[in-house]
Amino acid sequence: MNRDSAHLILALIAGMILLPVSQFRAQEQQKPKQQKPPAQVLEQQQEEYTEEEYDAYEKSVNEPDLDKRPAMLLAFIDKYPKSKLMSYIVTAYQTLMYEYSKNQKYDKLEPLAEKWLKYHPDELQTIGYVAESAQKLGHDQKYLDYAMKIYAQKPTASLAYHIGQAYQKVGDQAKYLEWTERLFTYPEFAGDFGLRMMFVDKYAKEKNFAKAAEYAQLTLKALEVAKKPDTIPEGNWRRDVTSARRYSNFFIGMNYYEKKRWADAIKSLQAATKAEKFAEGYYYMGHCQWKLERIDEAMVAFAKAVMLKGEVASQAKKYLEEIYKGLHNNTTIGIDKIYNKAEKELAEISAEVIR
């Protein structure tokens, strides 16, 4: 595949717009209900804890310096692990985490939540706080560690997407592709042809046309249900859809070409060039028609490749003239008729697209 095609594919991938995905937030985040022991309860329970214990409780929950309050609450837990006041201490700490999350103070929330997990390692909401903070702070590996714990219990499309993005940030391309492909199983991404095209591009660059064609088929299926996001201009959307359809059919055709299934290759290449006229599509179509001894069609296809220019144009011209000379006493006199026919057909395709 020539450099122009590679660049076009990359441009296509860059232009794809993923389905909207909500930014990751702590799972099931709710503000803890503030609790304070009523006076009568304190009177009834006064024999259940010491005055020193209650003083420590009051000082910790009422500490005005929020940076000091978490350490005081944790100190209370360490000193009075079986205290009857523990539920109020828990609520006070959870409220702090909630407020930090609400006010987006992630630099404070992250260490706060991590310390709490030492006491409550399986508390999903707190795991969510750490993941949320790590993501916002760019602590990608930490985000992955905690996001994976959440996904194990509550797998969602949004979380799978963000896990994949985090793997890409840390440079783990294999995991990034694995998690991106996992999105194919979610209805939310059924029409996201850009994700499928990424795999088409990957395998096309590796000259693995069988795998490229496999994902190209998935791309075409996604195009059938794809819906334009409201944020994308109509013109840009049509361009992206056209390019995806062009390249998907092209690489399906190239897979058939590699397998010498000439007739099947022609059908796919015709679908590709119908979506968008491009030299390579006609160039390989010409070769397939030549192999099937459809000589007149092959010459017109090569002429189209010449007229559309690009890196294959010179080779297309060479094959066109070679075939033509073999039929006309080793001369190119009258070859203009082939170019005129090619030009007419290209114009008809353009008119049909406009209609």
**pLDDT band for position 32 (cuts 50, 70, 90):** low
Over the stretch 37-48, which tens digit does the pLDDT of each residue have?
Answer: 555 555 555 557
Q: What is the token pair recorded at 171?
A: 């440079």
pLDDT, mean of residues 91-114: 96
pTM, 2 dp: 0.78
**pLDDT band for position 142 (cuts 50, 70, 90):** very high
CATH architecture of 20-183: Alpha Horseshoe (1.25)
Specify whether the CB–CB gap between 195 and 237 falls below 8 A. no
Cα→Cα distances 163→21, 168, 225, 238, 326, Å: 12, 9, 25, 30, 60
Helices (H), 206-294: 209-225, 234-258, 262-275, 279-291
Over the stretch 257-287, which tens digit does the pLDDT of each residue have?
Answer: 999 999 999 999 999 999 999 999 999 999 9
pLDDT, mean of residues 9-33: 42
